[in-house]
Amino acid sequence: MNEPAYLVLGDGTLFRGTAFGATATGEGEVVFHTGMTGYQEVLTDPSYAGQIVCMTYPEIGNTGCNPEDEESRGIFLRGFVVRSYNERPSSWRSRETLHAYLLRHRVPGISGIDTRALVRHLRTVGALNGVLAHGSQDEAALRARVAALPSMAGLNLVDGVTEGRRYEWREGNEWRTRPRPAGRKRHRIVAFDYGVKRNILRELVDAGFDVTVVPASTSAKDVLALEPDGAFLANGPGDPAAVTYAIPIVRELVAAKLPTFGICLGHQILGLALGGTTKKLRFGHHGANQPARDEQSRRVMIASENHGFAVDAEALRRAGDVEITHVNLNDGTVEGLRHRTLPVFSVQYHPEASPGPHDLAYLFDRFRELIEERHA
């Protein structure tokens, strides 16, 4: 692991460091994650597909990796950037080192670079494409390679992360911090897998749902044939406007007055289905410390987020009977919406927060209440 590694950005900026993980070359948009914990959840979050992720917290690898903390069936990001890689995990839950974990999943990593300088650069110029490569490299060739990469705008990355099968999810959360509803009827919902995280499914189960997960392209007709009590639109990667098949599907479900709850990419697709538009953010929101304000109660909550696109507020207001329910206090972007007459709402953040804050876990209960109101 003393092999050299290089990270080259789309504007030609180059960082030299030390290789760890797989000897491979990663290509994708370079973003930074501001969480202090949970690097394994970051690695296995399908919303990071097509990206190279830099961790702002400097010490990474000290808790190792284990099967219980995986959020999906694999790693979908293209490279991992850290300041200081720790080869000796100290957690009793560790089953393998981060190096071994990345090696097994064929993902390259780089350590020993000034991640503060990298993050400041990305915050100044915006997210850039990058190439992460191990071993002796021709720097000019790397710069030419990164220059040829496509922009994240216009990319449908959902097709690469959604599972091509329908399945039932019944597992709850072993580490649950809030009481489960007791003695209440369970409701059946269909969850669209745009890149869904496992802990989101666990929270849905704990909120009183029987969950059927379906591939992202499942038709509204097939969903309605299952006679669900509601639909859940999951998180996922890439440009929501590029997932062109999802928008009319959701529009049809909304027209059928099926109670619908969306998060992250699901929130953006719902916004598009309701007549809004989306836009690419300068460097996105990636971390466990984003401030979201409830516009009705004026309460400010800390949210876990991972997205590079947002629903455009002005276009949403012009769309008609849609209300903006939450805003981000850092940049004023839309963090939540609901329809004024239909049983539909969504949020930009990840309310299940594993790891992260639990301020917004109540939204799963709100979804249940919305369904029960329709059955009253």
**Which amino acids are annotated catalytic?**
264, 350, 352
Region at 186 (left for phi over 0; alpha for psi -120 to 50; beta for the rest): beta
Residue 101 to residue 105: CA distance in whole angstroms: 6
Residue 369 to residue 347: CA distance in whole angstroms: 16
Q: Residue 58 in contact with residue 79, Cβ under 8 Å?
A: no
Residue 160 to residue 144: CA distance in whole angstroms: 26
Closest CA to 336 of 304, 313, 307, 302: 313
DSSP conformation letters of 300-333: EEEEEEEEEEEE-HHHHHHTSSEEEEEEETTT--
Q: Is 362 helix (H, G, I), strand (E, B) or coil?
A: helix
Closest CA to 212 of 168, 258, 249: 168
Q: Is 68 helix (H, G, I), strand (E, B) or coil?
A: helix
